[in-house]
Structure 1
Amino acid sequence: MKELLEFLRWPVVCGLLAAIIILDHFPDLLGINNANDTRSVSSQGPYSYAQAVQQAAPAVVNIHTRKTVKQKLPALYNDPILRYLLQKNIIRQKERVQNSLGSGIIINPNGYILTNNHVIKDADKILVLLQDGREALAKVIGIDRETDLAVLKIDLNELETITIGDPSQAMVGDVVLAIGNPYGFGHTVTQGIISATGRHGLELTTYENFIQTDAAINPGNSGGALVDARGRLLGISTAIQSNSGGSQGIGLATPSDLAIRIMSDIIEYGKVIRGWLGVNVEPIPAATAQSYNLPVNNGIIIMDIHRGGPADNSGLIKGDIITGINNQPVGNGQAAMNFIAATRPGEEVVIDLVREGQTMSISAVVGNKEDATE
């Protein structure tokens, strides 16, 4: 027996050593995750997004609107006599009720809801349906046509609100979920990735900085939530690019930080407060940028200045090439416009520019955009 134990000792020791090495260096072979291994499943993304949906979906509402529209008159009513009779109501113009669908997001427990302006535009009645089955008539608190956003309010208790994310940290390739009411189906979730950020020049709104996604967004999703894999709000689904009217993998969402700022202004001031510099600009041509050794696709040239406006008072002149504001590149002008609009009137900004080949910086006090119309 003693000889047998002596014979087995070294094979057993070698086997234990081999097992320790395998457990330490190759845990995946045995289905074991090393606690110190950063390549765990959680770092690669979950297999299910149910938790994110459970967190975000209760704050997403279905919106049903109704409005009365007058039917288009036949061409024969262009006759002056018939038009006169119509105006005297001897001949009545036919009317019909038009129903439409959309989505919204409960932002705070006081009942304030964010949605798109085109969802509730000209509506006579706005009915909000919650995921828990409750419903309420909504009141329009205010709208902002320049971003196609609207703020509604409902009077209900114990409302679920959504967690706000940070769209500035969103990256192309990040997983996102779109939650809304497509085609009136009710709460529906679609999944995709962020396809691009900072989309502009689409002429959908004045201030464009869209998040593009391939998560399916269809009619009825407008005003709904675009959330990250943790259920945090990144954007408000606003538009789709489609030849058929349905999803073709190009959906656009207004970033949540912009939407929240618009909402806060509407609630506090009854309108949106935007900064204003008082300049008309155009992107500089590539040849001009090259002659001044400027980066391609960054730089705007001042074509005109509002007399007595912030730019005029700061010393900016026509022909100045603006390259940055507060150390941020201006791109082709859209980034600069968005930045100034988000700056509060009275705040000072530092403008980097090129004048007659010389670089310099000028400080300007941002004005109120309402002054542009006065």
Structure 2
Amino acid sequence: MRYAYGVAMALLLGGTAFSLATGEAGAQIAQNEPSALAPRPGAPMSFADLAARLQPAVVNISTKQRVAVKAQSDPFEEFFRRFDPTQPQGGTDNGGGAQPRTREAGSLGSGFIISPDGYVVTNNHLIQGLSGTGTVDSVTVITTDRREYVARIVGRDETSDLALLKIEGRNLPFVKWGDSTKARVGDWVLAIGNPYGLGGTVTAGIISALHRGITGVGAYDRYIQTDAAINMGNSGGPMFDLNGNVIGINSALISPTGASVGIGLAIPAEAAKPVIDALIRGQRPSRGYLGASLQPVDEDLAPSVGIPKDSGEIVRSLVPGGPGAGAGLQQGDVIVKVNGQQVTPDQTVSYLIANSPVGSRVPLEIVRAGRHATVTVIVAQRPTEEALARLSGGGSTSDGATAIAPNAPQRALGLSLAPLTPELGRAASLPPTAHGVIITAIDPNANAAEQGLQRGDLIVSVNNQPVNTPAQVIAAVDAARKAGRSSVLLLVQRGATPAVFVGVNIAPK
């Protein structure tokens, strides 16, 4: 009710403002303008015909899986078990040999048929299983006429969150892929799916944004954003243009409540179709790989590396023996162009490399120590997610340990600094191979604190120069100040997590 009232007021106020501003001359112009209530091209009076044509090809995805249940302890059962040798010992948590208890769990989502012989596209997270690994026990596809099909999982791709199913049928209704590269902000779109298991539901809206990133990393962090209502259960369903072609796969929503607030996200068809085509052929999707951990050059880092913000990405680390390391990339290099294309928040290095042919030679324009240079990388095949996890290592984030000495005699940037010792390294949960200068205290009013630095963080380098003593940090900061720089670039490691670059302003003396 509130929404309807707000729309009505907006239209009324808009009309009033127009009539007050135009006067007599404006009135003549207004007579030649189309009525505010008249339909305009691209804004149909009804989506009914389009929805009726498309709905039969949109399906409900239902999965089932047996999951383990840890039973709660019953004190009375525990008491009697002690005196009954025929009962299994060890409690009700199945730790003493009792049969494990399980329950049947499932998920509901959406999908769409792309061929008359029954290939179905959906999201991988619907069939991956509640544990996040493996697959569910069974998948059922339910059509709009309530026919049920047992589906076979043809293939799935965790990286893009896409999966391909197959049901046995002939002359099934199906839909075709559209060209998402021609989509524009403001275009009408139609979303069809099964929110909350309610069956075929149609919502309409416009494209609110293109190339929307929500994680900041990855080749597939590039969604179509829409204000068409997308809710839980819409995952895997299609987003259509007004020609009835699939230009996106509804996959996520941004919401503080878990329900639609008008920010729905869809995987664009330009990214989804090559993955699905590969799965149909029984192949692993091909995507390029650089072997580098990257970080956007935001407004905090830009002064430190000497380029405008959002115009490149800095190399945070390299996989030993990977394509980037083999091409001569170094930690701290800033990649500004990939094969002649500017690196931006919309065109990230990950996206551009992932869409480069495996085996191709791709020039990277970089900025190193303030100078532009070019290195040529031979694009490799991206490893599986499991292999990438092994390559990147792991470890939990640590915000410093209390055993670190409270004070140090040398300071810079509002930081108290000390050489890294084995004792300090263990206290800060740093790996034994770590090298650098550790932060033992921090001025809460310093810019370094505003940038998120904490006690226990390790400064690995300053302006891409490795440091091992506080004196080296102080000298590097002084050199940057004398050179007229407004900030310094710190490479900082916290615990066992990968190091990140942080730009810190140089406070005036």
Normalised by the length of structure 2, the TM-score is 0.60
348, 351, 365: which one pairs with 2:361? 348
Whether 1:157 aligns to 2:165 is: no
Please tell me whether residue 60 in structure 1 is matched to residue 58 in structure 2: yes
**Contact map agreement 1:103 1:220 (CA 8 A) in 2:** yes
Flag the 1:189–1:125 CA change in 2: closer, same or farther, 3 A.
Answer: same
| Aligned 8 A contact 1:284 1:301 in 2 | yes
1:202 to 196, 200, 215: 215
Paired residue type of 1:184: G
Cα 1:72–1:87 change in 2 (3 A) is: closer
1:34-87 C-alpha deviation (Å, 9 max, x unpaired):
xxxxxx96634322223432443222111122222222322579x995169935
Partner residue of 1:167 out of 180, 198, 205: 180
Q: Report whether the alignment pairs 1:328 with 2:341.
A: yes
- The answer (yes or no) to whether the contact 1:141–1:267 under 8 Å persists in 2 is yes
Alignment of 1:117-196 (within 5 A): 117-122=124-129, 123-196=136-209
From 211, 219, 222, the equivalent of 2:224 is: 211
1:343 and 1:84 map into 2 onto residues whose CA distance is: 55
Letter of the 1:152 counterpart: L
- Which one of the candidate residues 82, 86, 102 is aligned to 2:94? 86
Moved more, 99-108 or 203-212: 203-212
Distance (whole Å) between structure 1 residues aligned to residue 341 and residue 301 of structure 2? 20
Q: Which residue number in structure 2 is paired with residue 98 of structure 1?
A: 105
Aligned length: 337
**What is the CA-CA distance between 1:281 and the residue it aligns to?**
2.0
- How far 1:120 moved relative to its partner? 2.1
Match of 2:271, SS state, is helix
Q: Matches of 2:376 and 2:93 in 1, distance apart?
A: 63
Structure 1 gap segments, 5+ residues each? 1-25, 32-39
Residue by residue over 1:256-284, the C-alpha shift from the partner in whole angstroms, topping out at 9 and shown as x without a partner, is 22122222222334433321112222223
Residue 15 (structure 1) aligns with: none
Q: Provide the rounded CA distance (Å) in 2 between the counterparts of 1:141 and 1:231.
A: 26
User: Aligned partner of 2:72: which letter?
Assistant: P
Identity of aligned residues (%): 38
CA drift of 1:211 comes to 1.4
Aligned to 1:69: 67
1:109 is paired with a residue whose SS is coil
Q: Secondary structure at the match of 2:273?
A: helix
CA distance in 1: counterparts of 2:241 and 2:338, whole angstroms: 30
Deviation for aligned residue 1:333: 8.9
Amino acid across the alignment from 2:94: L
Residue type of the partner of 2:193? G
Note the 1:291-310 alignment, pairs <5 A.
294-310=307-323
CA 1:101 to 1:108, structure 2 compared with 1: closer, same or farther past 3 Å?
same
CA drift of 1:115 comes to 0.7
CA-CA distance at 1:203 after TM superposition? 7.6
Cα pair 1:281 1:333 within 8 Å, conserved: no
Kindly report the root-mean-square deviation, in angstroms, between the aligned alpha carbons of the 2 structures. 3.2
Q: Displacement of 1:224 after TM fit?
A: 0.5
Equivalent of residue 377 in structure 2, options 364, 367, 372: 364
Higher helix share: 1
Q: 2:311 touches 2:336 (CA, 8 Å); kept in 1?
A: yes
CA distance in 1, matches of 2:175, 2:246: 7
Aligned twin of 1:48 = 46
SS in 2 for 1:257: helix
Which letter maps to 2:338? Answer: I
Offset of residue 156 of structure 1: 0.6
Larger deviation, residues 189-198 vs 257-266: 257-266
CA separation of 1:56 and 1:339: change in aligned 2, threshold 3 A? farther
Q: TM-score, normalised by structure 1?
A: 0.79
Indicate whether 1:283 and 2:283 are aligned: no
Per the alignment, in what secondary structure is the counterpart of residue 90 of structure 2? helix
Partner of 2:246: 233
Task: State yes or no: 1:108 paired with 2:115.
Answer: yes
3-state SS of the aligned residue for 1:344? Answer: coil
- Contact 2:219–2:354 (8 Å) recurs in 1: no
Cα contact 2:123–2:163 (8 A) shared by 1? yes
Partners of 1:121 and 1:290 in 2: CA distance: 44
- State whether residues 282 and 332 of structure 1, in contact with CA within 8 Å, keep that contact through their aligned partners in structure 2: no
Residues 63 and 127 of structure 1 are in contact (CA less than 8 Å); yes or no, is this contact kept in structure 2? yes
* Cα-to-partner distance string for 1:139-161 (whole Å, 9 max, x where unaligned): 11122222222111111111222
Alignment-derived partner of residue 235 in structure 2: 222
> Once the 2 structures are TM-superposed, how far is the Cα of residue 237 of structure 1 from its aligned partner?
0.9
Separation (CA, whole Å) in 1 of partners of 2:217 and 2:71: 29
Change over 3 Å in CA distance of 1:282–1:142 after alignment to 2: same
The one-letter code sitting in structure 2 at the alignment partner of 1:313 is G
Higher relative contact order (CA 8 A, sep 6+): 1
User: CA–CA distance in 1 between the matches of 2:74 and 2:274?
Assistant: 49
CA pair 261-54 structure 1, distance change in 2 beyond 3 A: same
SS of aligned partner of 1:82: coil
CA 1:120/1:83 → structure 2, altered by over 3 Å: closer, same or farther? same
Q: 1:116 and 1:156 mapped to 2: Cα distance?
A: 21
Which residue identity is paired with 2:105? Q
Report the CA distance between 1:220 and its aligned residue. 1.5
1:103–1:166 CA distance, 2 compared to 1 (3 A): same
1:147–1:205 contact (8 Å) kept in structure 2 = no
> How far apart, in 2, do the equivalents of 1:74 and 1:165 lie?
52
Please give the secondary structure, in 1, of the residue aligned with 2:126.
helix
Aligned to 1:16: none
Alpha-carbon distance, 1:205 to partner = 7.9
Q: 1:204 to 1:161 in 2, by over 3 A?
A: farther
Mapped to 2, the partners of 1:226 and 1:185 lie a distance apart of 18
